[in-house]
Amino acid sequence: MVYKVIDYTVADDIATVTLNRPEVMNALDTQMRAEIRDAVRHAAEEARVMVLTGAGRAFCSGQDLGDKANIGNIDLERTLRDEYEPMLRAIFDCPIPTIAAVNGPAAGAGANLALACDVVIASEAAMFLQAFTRIGLIPDAGGTYWLPRQMGFARAMAAALFAEPIPARQAADWGMIWEAVPEDGFTAHWQARATQLATGPTVAYQHVKRAIRSSFDNDLEAQLSLEAELQGACGATRDFKEGVVAFLEKRKAQYEGR
């Protein structure tokens, strides 16, 4: 696919997907949703970590509402099922670690697009806004799934009902995101985080994702069984052997991702 509204690059095992409609704060339209889905799938094959970020002053302002003439004709259910769900599933199912580098405001579906990633790193210039009730809607794009899991029931409910912006620092304090960092040096910071994962034990990261996500549905017995299964798989990798040898030799491990 030739990308028109995103930029996609791969360097040093890091795939960077940049939403590139800065004139509309990277609002999501049909084209962008399709391109994000395709880029994520390529990243899974071509890199060891994927970063999703935005061009310009915003991360993503959510659904593109610019075409006022068509507002009453939008089939929201179809759009969510046919366009949002495949994009979000591609991110959620991506076998490599995914990072949302939230450079600026993330609103509506844009906020929940970020939360679909494994790790959210935000600039202190960013904020998160569940804007949906402002226009008579409910949180979508996975918002009703991510929010209570990441910030708790009470905060998720109030965030959805009041539709008030949550500054990045507060989002980090609440456990909604991993960290908020100063705007100066933000890019260098998330690049360093991405490099850390890109040079780490890729198979272990894949199994970490599976184990932690499964814990919400498993009882203790099932989770302990899954841990044993996945740990056995990790123990059979070259990365495990290299990690142990590097520890004994007091040097940095050189992981191959197998």
pLDDT bin (cut points 50, 70, 90) of residue 23 is very high
Number of domains the chain contains: 2
Residues 157, 226 within the same domain: no
Give the domain extent around 44: 6-198
Residues 166, 214 within the same domain: no
| H-type alpha helices, 102-152 | 109-115, 143-151
- 27-45: pLDDT as tens digits: 999 999 999 999 999 999 9
Residue 254 inside a domain? The answer is: no
Residue 19 inside a domain? The answer is: yes
Residue 169 inside a domain? The answer is: yes
Residues 166, 43 within the same domain: yes
Final residue before a domain boundary, out of 198, 220, 237: 198
41: left (phi over 0), alpha (psi -120 to 50) or beta: alpha
- Report the alpha-carbon distance of residue 176 to residue 124 in Å, rounded: 14
DSSP 63: B
pLDDT bin (cut points 50, 70, 90) of residue 187 is very high
Residues 168, 213 within the same domain: no
Q: What is the pTM of this model?
A: 0.94
- 198-224: pLDDT as tens digits: 999 999 999 999 999 999 999 999 999
Q: How much of the chain, in percent, has pLDDT values that exceed 70?
A: 97
User: Residue 181: is its pLDDT beyond 80?
Assistant: yes
Residue 144 inside a domain? The answer is: yes
**Short-list 241, 245, 41, 197, CA closest to 258:** 241
User: Residue 86: is its pLDDT beyond 50?
Assistant: yes
Q: How many other C-beta atoms are found inside a 10 Å radius of the C-beta of residue 231?
A: 14
Burial per residue of 233-243, b for 16 or more beta-carbon CB atoms within 10 angstroms, e otherwise: ebeebebbebb
Residue 130 inside a domain? The answer is: yes
- Residue 144 sits in a domain whose CATH number is 3.90.226.10
Q: What angle do CA 157, 163, 166 make, to 5 degrees?
A: 90
Helix and strand totals (H; E) in the chain:
11, 9
Residue 257 inside a domain? The answer is: no
Predicted local confidence at residue 132, as pLDDT: 95
Predicted local confidence at residue 256, as pLDDT: 83
- 55-83: pLDDT as tens digits: 999 999 999 987 554 556 678 999 999 99
250: left (phi over 0), alpha (psi -120 to 50) or beta: left
Residue 111 inside a domain? The answer is: yes
Residues 143, 206 within the same domain: no
Residues 120, 231 within the same domain: no
Predicted local confidence at residue 51, as pLDDT: 98
Predicted local confidence at residue 170, as pLDDT: 97
Predicted local confidence at residue 70, as pLDDT: 55
Residues 193, 101 within the same domain: yes
Residues 116, 209 within the same domain: no
**Short-list 213, 195, 193, CA closest to 149:** 213
Predicted local confidence at residue 67, as pLDDT: 56
